[in-house]
Structure 1
Amino acid sequence: MTDDEKIARTHEMLKAWDACDWDAVAAMFAEDGVLHSVMKEPVVGRATIDAHLQPFRENAHDVDLQVKSIGVIGGRVFVERVDVFDYAEHHGEVPVVGILSWEDGLVTEWLEYYDRATLLRGMGAA
């Protein structure tokens, strides 16, 4: 994939999150893809990632992943953003840096860096 194709696919992924289209989110991962919030254990495999999204299916709405900057470094897409969301009865905002690796139009690895306490507070879990 070219750098432009990787950035375009990343925007498609972020739009799927914004639309709360969890089936589309899961489908954009490779069969053995990895979703890794780095302060937790990685979630490995499309089916496992799909199951991991279940709480979002049930509780997340009004998701807006606001991109501040995006670019490709060393073949990976780096996205600085602020995630604004309503989860259950709570509103949250959390700054995030995501790093996505793409192959054949599918995410092979997605690393997420954010302050977990801020995320949990926004979800009403803190």
Structure 2
Amino acid sequence: MSDNTHLAKDFIGAWENKNLDKILNMMSESCRYHNIPMKPLKGHDKIRTFIAPVLEMSEKIIWDIHQIAEDDRGNVFTERTDKFLINDKWVELPVCGVMTFSDGLMTHWRDYFDLMTFEKAMEEATALY
């Protein structure tokens, strides 16, 4: 396993451990994070503001990696199912992502997924009955 693939797996592990500090420390200060259906975020402050509530509301997080590959330019490609346990309900989201690393830090992170699938699952998980 190459260094960048190892970094990508460590990054996913930080998500599964709900370790926001480690997630951010694995990113460059100017990292660009883009959930493709949404507007991109740049920098630790904006990324923290987006990620923190997801970690806080999730009782458990599991990212199943189905495929992982990399190229010689620092890009690691993942096909995953991201799972978030919220209010005892699993929110599962099929995702394809690209993480770009340089000098041991993530500089760009792009995730591609269906926003309507995510919004519907979140609505069901957070609905009060």
Normalised TM-score (structure 1): 0.89
Q: Greater shift after overlay, 54-63 or 35-44?
A: 54-63
Summarize the Cα distance change of 1:53–1:88 in structure 2 as closer, same or farther, 3 Å threshold. farther
Ranges of 4+ aligned residues in structure 1 off by more than 4 Å: none
Cα offsets for 1:37-62 (capped at 9, x unmatched): 01111010022211222212320221
Query: What corresponds to 1:77 in structure 2?
Result: 76
Q: Aligned to 1:47, what secondary structure does the other structure show?
A: helix
Cα drift, residue 16 of structure 1: 0.5
Kindly report which structure 2 residues correspond to 1:5-84, keeping only aligned pairs within 5 A, or say none: 5-75=3-73, 76-84=75-83
1:30 partner letter: S
Cα distance in structure 1, aligned partners of 2:124 and 2:53: 13
RMSD: 1.8
Cα distance in structure 2, aligned partners of 1:120 and 1:88: 15
1:92 partner letter: V
Cα distance in structure 1, aligned partners of 2:4 and 2:93: 24
Cα distance in structure 2, aligned partners of 1:18 and 1:54: 13
Cα offsets for 1:35-93 (capped at 9, x unmatched): 10011110100222112222123202211000001001352100001111113454211
Summarize the Cα distance change of 1:29–1:97 in structure 2 as closer, same or farther, 3 Å threshold. same
Cα distance in structure 1, aligned partners of 2:23 and 2:87: 20
2:109 partner letter: W
1:112 partner letter: D
Q: Aligned to 2:123, what secondary structure does the other structure show?
A: coil
Cα distance in structure 2, aligned partners of 1:43 and 1:69: 26
2:81 pairs with 1:87: no
1:39 partner letter: P
C-alpha contact 1:64 1:84 (8 A) present in aligned 2: yes
